[in-house]
C-alpha cells in the first residue's frame, strides 16, 4: 500500500449533517467445537421495531468472519477498519437504516454512505468454513439508547446469514475518557487486552497471544455486543488496544492488525505503512506544539513590553 493511500485512512471521509458465528471452527490447525450463530434463545424479549440491515444478499458468503469497528479512543477501530477495507479490497455492500441513528451521511469519492456501513470480500480466514470477511464500521458515535436495539438487529442479521465468528475492535486510554474502565496491570503504553463471550473465544485469544482483561467495564457497542454474545452463546471476542488518547493512534492500530494477521494468513497485512503514518502524525503534532510554544513565548514578551509602556 502506498503511503499516500494510507494517509487517506484518516481523512477520506467527510460527515455531512442532515456475530457473528457457526459450527466447528479451526484456528491454526486446532479444531474447537462451539455453539453456532444459529443458536437461538427463547427468552429473548421484544424491544419494538429494530434497526434494519440493508445489504446486497449475494455479496456475503455463509460462514463469514465479521470484524466490528465502532468509534473509540484515538480512532483505533476506524483506522483498523479502513486499513482492512483497502488492503483486502473489500466492497461496500450496505448498511443500517434507522431514524434514531445520527442524521448524517458520510461522503466518500463524492458518494453518500450510511453512518453504519458494511464491506465484504473474498475468503482470507484461517478458520475452517470461513468463506469471507465482513467489516462493520461507523465513525459516528452510536447513541447509548441505540446500542441494544442495534446490537439485536446486527446479531439477528448474523444469525440469518450464518456468520461464523465476530471480532470487535476497541481501544482505551488512561489519559482520555472512553467510557471503559480497564484494570491494566501492564506498565507499558502498548497494552493489548482480550475479552471472550464464550470458551471458544477465550481459547482464540490465547492462541493469538492476547492477555485477558481480568476486571473492568466495557461500554458502548462493544460492551452490549459482548453481553448479548455471552447470553446467546455466540463466538465473539474483543481486542482492546491501549491508545495515546486525543490524537489518531496508528501504532495501536498496527498492534491490532498484527494479531488479525494470524486470522487472515492468505494475505499479508503489512503494518509498516501504519507505522510510517504514525511517525508522520507525531512529527506534525510535535512541530505544531513547538510552533504554539514559540507563539506563546512571543506573546508573553509582548505583554512584558506593554507593561513597561503603560505602567
On whether residue 198 sits in a domain, the answer given is yes
d(CA 200, CA 233): 10
- What's the pLDDT score for residue 197? 94
- What's the pLDDT score for residue 170? 94
On whether residue 244 sits in a domain, the answer given is yes
On whether residue 105 sits in a domain, the answer given is no
C-alpha cell at 219: 461500554
On whether residue 284 sits in a domain, the answer given is yes
Nearest to 261 by CA among 208, 210, 213, 211: 208
| Number of independent structural domains in the chain | 1
d(CA 248, CA 49): 36
Tell me: the pLDDT tens digits for 56-93? Answer: 877 776 788 899 999 988 889 989 998 898 888 899 99
d(CA 21, CA 44): 18
Radius of gyration of the chain (CA): 21
On whether residue 237 sits in a domain, the answer given is yes
The H or E element containing residue 117 is strand 116-121
On whether residue 164 sits in a domain, the answer given is yes
CB neighbourhood size of 17 (10 A): 7
What is the residue range of 33's domain?
Answer: 3-13+20-40+59-93+115-310
- What's the pLDDT score for residue 199? 95
CATH code of the domain in which 299 resides? 3.40.50.10900
On whether residue 45 sits in a domain, the answer given is no
Helix 220-232 and helix 144-161, axial crossing angle in degrees, nearest 10: 40
Range of lowest pLDDT (7-11, 221-225, 297-301):
7-11
Range of lowest pLDDT (111-125, 143-157, 287-301):
287-301
On whether residue 178 sits in a domain, the answer given is yes
Amino acid at each position: 500500500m502506498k503511503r499516500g493511500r494510507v494517509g487517506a485512512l484518516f481523512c477520506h471521509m467527510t460527515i455531512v449533517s442532515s456475530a457473528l458465528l457457526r459450527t466447528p471452527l479451526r484456528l491454526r490447525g486446532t479444531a474447537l467445537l462451539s455453539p453456532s450463530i444459529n443458536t437461538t434463545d427463547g427468552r429473548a424479549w421484544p424491544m419494538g421495531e429494530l434497526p434494519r440491515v440493508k445489504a446486497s444478499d449475494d455479496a456475503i458468503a455463509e460462514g463469514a468472519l465479521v470484524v466490528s469497528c465502532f468509534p473509540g479512543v484515538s480512532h483505533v477501530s476506524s483506522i483498523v477498519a479502513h486499513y482492512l477495507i483497502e488492503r483486502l479490497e473489500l466492497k461496500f455492500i450496505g448498511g443500517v437504516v434507522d431514524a434514531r441513528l445520527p442524521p448524517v451521511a458520510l461522503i466518500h469519492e463524492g458518494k453518500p454512505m450510511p453512518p453504519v456501513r458494511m464491506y465484504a470480500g473474498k475468503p482470507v480466514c484461517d478458520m475452517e468454513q470461513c468463506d469471507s470477511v465482513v467489516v462493520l464500521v461507523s465513525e459516528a458515535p452510536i447513541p447509548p439508547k441505540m446500542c441494544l436495539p442495534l446490537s439485536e438487529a446486527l446479531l439477528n442479521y448474523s444469525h440469518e446469514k450464518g456468520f461464523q465468528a465476530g471480532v470487535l475492535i476497541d481501544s482505551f486510554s488512561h489519559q482520555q475518557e472512553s467510557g471503559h474502565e480497564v484494570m491494566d496491570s501492564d506498565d507499558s503504553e502498548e497494552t493489548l487486552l482480550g475479552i471472550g463471550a464464550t470458551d471458544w473465544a477465550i481459547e482464540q485469544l490465547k492462541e493469538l497471544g492476547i492477555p485477558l482483561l481480568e476486571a473492568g467495564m466495557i461500554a458502548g457497542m462493544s460492551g452490549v455486543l459482548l453481553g448479548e454474545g455471552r447470553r446467546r452463546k455466540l463466538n465473539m471476542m474483543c481486542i482492546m488496544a491501549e491508545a495515546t488518547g486525543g490524537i489518531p493512534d496508528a501504532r495501536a492500530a498496527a498492534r491490532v492488525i498484527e494479531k488479525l494477521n494470524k486470522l487472515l494468513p492468505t494475505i499479508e497485512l503489512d503494518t509498516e505503512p501504519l507505522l510510517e503514518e504514525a511517525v508522520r502524525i507525531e512529527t506534525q503534532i510535535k512541530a505544531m506544539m513547538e510552533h504554539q510554544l514559540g507563539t506563546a513565548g512571543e506573546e508573553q514578551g509582548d505583554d512584558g513590553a506593554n507593561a513597561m509602556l503603560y505602567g
